[in-house]
Structure 1
């Protein structure tokens, strides 16, 4: 039987992705004709395109459904994660322009690469096949490598990009090997067919080995311990607004990849893989929080805190039920917002020749600029999980999910390390409010209202959503209704 080409009507669920990729190609061509003094046009149009795509998805344009022979699945989970990914990427581009312009590093390729990376995230989020998982993952990864290396004159940035590329390639290899083992055991690449084959298989040896490699590959992409070696150097070496991007939106795609592979793919083996996830959660909580205590560089501290936050997210995944998946998804969304605010504060304070990435650079910030200090305080308190900020409800949700999944011991471990983690966030707050500023620290920027407004909205969202988090959790829960 000769396969028929899908009609335009059948491809409607793919419309947001097609619009985004089309806009990225259009901007790539437009950038060739834009003069250097008008380079902001590329950035503004990229932000507009991302927000337009988010609006298309939020309004349900194209509708939900399965296309490309089951390889692409658009459902409620996909829509929610894609909207957040597009908005967070647009916010990252707001942080990109002033930082890179001051240093003469802004290129139109940055916006285009971010758009293609977002397209990769969207494909990964909607993957219904192992092929689509790998396609989306590599599109995201290759764009991310190029973004980290965008400052070719920076030895630190080049080293970070090389480490990211080498270890990211290793992770992709592990994931691909696991997929090949699953294909060899079941003879299918479709996740739904794979799930059915795993449920009826009597010989699970090859399936379990493949699942172990899947867990390792997913842990690499999340930055979970002990697969976190790339993360601190990459976050530290990349230009800070690039760190804003790679430290936030890709976590949404990583969560979706984990759900698609583990629940939709090898769900019947949850008795085994959820224990692996629980072990990674404990290790990530321990390594992330304890190593973060010793950091003096704020970007490295936030990098290790990312490892600990992945541990909290894994509390929800380890529950392996609808409550756990909803909690983990809520945590991924919350962390994306918190991460952009925390790294965004560094962008706001930085100048050409002054990166503002040490904790000591924030000393006396309240005396220099009380508003920025207050916004940074909100970001730190939310990351620490202090009520009533949004981060508190995210931690509470995953702890409840662990208890609901009969893993009380895991919830207790999470609580202990949540308390330990408060120390290094409070250390930043102490520096801002109780320490005297260092000599020669430049005054915070006052000539970029758009950047300050974006940062303020980003940080205040953590407070406002702390009182109005129920709608977000409701969307997450609806995504996993049977």
Structure 2
């Protein structure tokens, strides 16, 4: 067995696959009253994955396996750790919500947890992929799990409609990506990202075919990020999905989407940076404009947060396009790549954990027969529950970029990276759209603290959700005041990955 692949870098993925399959089998024999066992096993599985990944992250080494198709490096390990945390928090926030809506009882048992873990497995594969083929396999595993999750409430017409929209448009985006991959493969003769880059640097690849392939590839990536003009599924799917599934869809997958963008563009297609930078710039500016302006007109909180997501992803694209720039001699300069990509990574992490808390509060206010999706549902929350109103205020201020919260440092680091490339006009545009976007976040804060309550029902909060939600709010504050540790971890992970 001298040619057997090295399985050590895949221990976390193998463990997750085995554990999730075991949870599925165990759940088949559990009555609805003991569904908490499935919940506990899911959290234990995430804890096991964390233990396996921490060792690799601490080692700080880069290991390739399966003929260079899979890579374990500092960036992938750090993003996986964040993904475990995001999924664990999602399950904790969603437990009561899903139970109240029969998603975890009757015929719909532990599928919610199992599909969430399978979606995580797809994200982990995407994060560690070093081949077009593996990226696509991970993407489809994640997407198919999310399609099923959105349609999990089969008796709900809105959820079924959202699942159909996401499935049809997702299939179209997958077609774009596959067509782009096929053109890149035809031009270079390989699916390995390292070989593709070498072919570009040596001039052996057909430039015209590569550009056409790049256009389709970026279109597919733009859909997965939910940026303009591939954004129309985002508000409909966010609003139509059960809130627990919206959180699974809108949080952890963004970490995997960032990873494949970095793998494909900054690693595999870096010699074509001049081409994809222009595309990302246009996508970013359009997303900032349409996302922020359209969010102002929304009265449904989930739709507002969906358009907010579109604008937030515009900032991520600004960070990705700032890693390289053309200097005065016309040469592509990548000296600031680690800082810029690290800033983009920090921004994604900030967005994910702030979004987790925001939707956590939405599910906190929801109850059986009441979704708490409208902005009016948050009126007077400060009088009903000052503590949770304060937590929600922290999340809204962070998303708006108000200092000294985590969101401010995320925006500042990305804008500094853009300014470092000499594009002052683009920095000004991003700042102006951020100021416009602050309006709809502050509107929620105003309703919570200055309007009279429209709902007098008592808030029922389980102990684990109360603790995690409070910790989530504290994290957004503390990591905004003291962001150096996360920023340094992101920049170091990116730096070690790019030189490997």
Shorter-chain TM-score range: over 0.9
Q: Which moved more, 1:183-192 or 1:94-103?
A: 94-103
Alignment of 1:380-395 (within 5 A): 380-395=396-411
Q: CA deviation at 1:479?
A: 1.7
Q: CA deviation at 1:465?
A: 1.1
Alignment of 1:413-432 (within 5 A): 413-432=429-448
Q: CA deviation at 1:450?
A: 1.7
Gaps of 5+ in 1: none
Q: What are the Cα deviations for residues 303-346 of structure 1, in whole angstroms up to 9, with x where unaligned? A: 00000000011110111322221111111111110110111110
Q: What are the Cα deviations for residues 88-113 of structure 1, in whole angstroms up to 9, with x where unaligned? A: 00110112211011122212011111
| 1:312 corresponds to | 315
8 Å CA contact retained: 2:231, 2:310: yes
Distance in 1 (CA, whole Å) between partners of 2:151 and 2:123 is: 20
| 1:103 corresponds to | 101
| 1:206 corresponds to | 209
Q: CA deviation at 1:30?
A: 0.6
> Do structure 1's residue 29 and structure 2's residue 31 form an aligned pair?
no
Equivalenced residue count is: 476
Partner of 1:60, secondary structure, is helix
Q: CA deviation at 1:468?
A: 2.2
Q: What are the Cα deviations for residues 406-442 of structure 1, in whole angstroms up to 9, with x where unaligned? A: 322221111001100100000000000000112x542
| 1:245 corresponds to | 248
8 Å CA contact retained: 2:395, 2:473: yes
Partner of 1:73, secondary structure, is strand
Of 453, 458, 462, 1:443 maps to 458
| 1:268 corresponds to | 271
Q: What are the Cα deviations for residues 325-370 of structure 1, in whole angstroms up to 9, with x where unaligned? A: 1111111111110110111110011001110111100000001110
| 2:415 corresponds to | 399
Distance in 1 (CA, whole Å) between partners of 2:143 and 2:421 is: 33
> Do structure 1's residue 283 and structure 2's residue 286 form an aligned pair?
yes
Q: CA deviation at 1:199?
A: 1.6
Distance in 2 (CA, whole Å) between partners of 1:161 and 1:407 is: 40
Q: Which moved more, 1:196-205 or 1:28-37?
A: 196-205
Distance in 2 (CA, whole Å) between partners of 1:455 and 1:297 is: 22
Q: Which runs of 4+ in 1 moved over 4 A?
A: 61-64
| 1:361 corresponds to | 377
8 Å CA contact retained: 2:103, 2:112: no
> Do structure 1's residue 157 and structure 2's residue 159 form an aligned pair?
yes
* TM, length-normalised to structure 2: 0.93
Distance in 1 (CA, whole Å) between partners of 2:145 and 2:289 is: 31
Distance in 2 (CA, whole Å) between partners of 1:49 and 1:65 is: 24
Of 111, 114, 132, 1:112 maps to 114
| 1:87 corresponds to | 85
Alignment of 1:319-334 (within 5 A): 319-320=322-323, 321-334=337-350
Partner of 2:64, secondary structure, is strand
